[in-house]
Amino acid sequence: MKKIFIFLFISLMSLASAQVTGKTTEVTGLEKPIVSEEYVLMPGDRILVTITGSTNYSYQTTITYEGKVTINMPVTSIATAQGVYVPKYDIVDAVPIYNLTLKSAKDSLKKVFLKYYKNVDVNITLIEMRTFSVFVVGEVKSPGIVRAWPVDRVSEVVKRAEGVSTLGSRSHIELRRDGQLYRVVNLEEFERSGDIKTNPYVQDGDIIYIPRMEKSVIVKGAVFGKRGYELRVAELTASRERTSEGLYELAEGERVSDLISKAGGITPWADPVHCYVLRKDKKIDTDLTKILADEACKENILLEDGDVLIVPSVNALVYVQGRVVNPGSFPYQPNLRASDYIGLAGGPESDANMHSAYVQRGKKRISVRKDPIIEEGDRIFVPRQVFKFWQDYVQIGSVFASLLISYLTLTRK
């Protein structure tokens, strides 16, 4: 009766395992092959037990909820419809191997099998990993229970909970195990250095607690922003492509260069010379060109909680002058041509000489005939048509003649 119960239990475990298999595509890619000295077996793991030596056979089994593995032995053979004899196994025992590494479990099972056979060796192969629940709580976008695998690290589990919220700390994440603080996880350090020791594996029943940031700094302006942070941008289209704003955690001793790095670095259109920090009612100028050249320079000041670090953009304008309807300056937009900016200025007037129009780029003059792509700071000049000068003289002459006729008429009276 006991054997029948164990057999039915193993069958149910196999069915449950088969149902989980359909979702194994969610498993994060392995960093490296599983090492037998490191992987810890727990209920739900499925293994292949292989016996070699004086007798040779193998069988698959799943570690039970009690953390045990069955000892199966062939007792007879059953002929299939094709005439192939398949060995039939009998469960003779179930021994605990939970919380043991693959290597330790192998040694433990070998001692058990040597009670039944002489001169045999036993090997264990992991063929399917268990899944388990990890609780992610605190300042995370979707707190609750997250499904995990033994090869998942804290960063992957937090990602499945949709990441740390805007106010959450990424450098003081608590990994709690068995009701106690197991380790403080620093994902900022992991992303910066790649040190996997700062991003440990999770285990069954772990709790990941993400507290609020103790200190923070706002970085805004011509920075790229970074994944994991909520960015706010200006409403105007041109500004939306050029500025970002994010709240970043401030660790003890961090300076301007550290927060610029956290914000993804400055953009090509940044004006690093005029960078500054707003601290309450005080403005502190800081030259990023000096900081990027030498982080030990005095410009790289220590930041304080509540500071606002601002990286302005360069004055990105294009100027259209001459015989156009509305001459003036216009916001630079990538990949627009001379004709586009002339159109923004209302188009050429009737006496405009488009044949002689040009773009002034520094000391270089570029003809508008081939409609070149415009760069920041370019000046487009549309001159008047010289060959229509006589119209001006005719107009002036007609006005003068009208005045003269009026004068003569009045004098005669």
- SS3 state of residue 234: coil
Structure tokens at 107: 């040694």
Same domain, 191 and 238: no
| Look-up of token digits 């900016």 | 341
Write the CB contacts of 343 (distance below 8 Å, at least 6 apart in sequence): none
pTM to 2 decimal places: 0.66
Q: Residue 402: inside a domain, yes or no?
A: no
pLDDT at 33: 87
DSSP string, 368-408: STT-PBP-TT-EEEEPBPGGGHHHHHHHHHHHHHHHHHHHH
Q: What are phi and psi of 250, to 5 degrees?
A: -110, 115
- Report the pLDDT value the prediction gives residue 390, as an integer from 0 to 100: 54
Round to whole Å and give the CA distance between 91 and 84: 23
Q: Which of 311, 345, 362 is the last residue of a domain?
A: 311
Q: What is the pLDDT of residue 14?
A: 40
Please indicate, yes or no, whether residues 227 and 307 belong to a single structural domain of this protein.
yes
Mean pLDDT over 174-179 rounds to 96
Task: Please count the structural domains in the chain.
Answer: 4
- Residue-by-residue DSSP string for 279-295: ETTEEEE--HHHHHH-T
Three-class DSSP category at 275 = coil
Residue 410: what pLDDT? 63
220 and 205 in a single domain? The answer is no
Residue 301 falls inside a structural domain: yes
For 143, the 3-state DSSP assignment is coil
> Distance between CA atoms of 402 and 413, rounded to whole angstroms?
17
The least confident of 154-163, 204-213, 313-322 is 313-322
Q: Which of 3-7, 65-69, 384-388, 406-410 has the lowest mean pLDDT?
A: 3-7
Range of the domain at 341: 325-388
Q: What pairing do the DSSP bridges indicate for beta strands 308-311 and 216-221?
A: parallel
Reported confidence tier of residue 394, pLDDT bands at 50, 70, 90:
low
Say what the pLDDT of residue 228 is: 41
The answer to whether residue 84 scores a pLDDT higher than 70 is no
CATH number, domain containing residue 330: 3.10.560.10
Q: CA-CA distance, 123 to 139, in Å (whole number)?
A: 45
Domain check: are 22 and 113 in the same one? yes
Average pLDDT rounded to a whole number, residues 115-119? 92
Return the bridge partners of 40, or none.
101
For residues 275 and 375, membership in a common domain is answered with no
In a domain, 284, yes or no: yes
| Confidence grade of residue 400 (pLDDT, cut at 50, 70, 90) | low
Say if CB 371 and CB 339 are below 8 A apart: yes
Whether residues 288 and 352 fall in one domain: no
Q: Are residues 87 and 160 in the same domain?
A: no
Rg, C-alpha atoms of the chain: 38
163 and 91 share one domain: no
- Pair (142, 205) in one structural domain: yes
Residues 358 and 368: beta-carbon distance below 8 Å? yes
Higher pLDDT, 317 or 156: 156
Structure tokens that stand for 100 in this block: 């043991």
User: Could you tell me the pLDDT band of residue 164, with boundaries at 50, 70 and 90?
Assistant: very high
Residue 120 CA, distance from chain mean position: 52
Residue 413 lies in a domain: no
17 band by pLDDT with thresholds 50, 70 and 90: very low
Has residue 71 got a pLDDT over 90? yes
The pLDDT > 90 percentage for the chain reads: 63
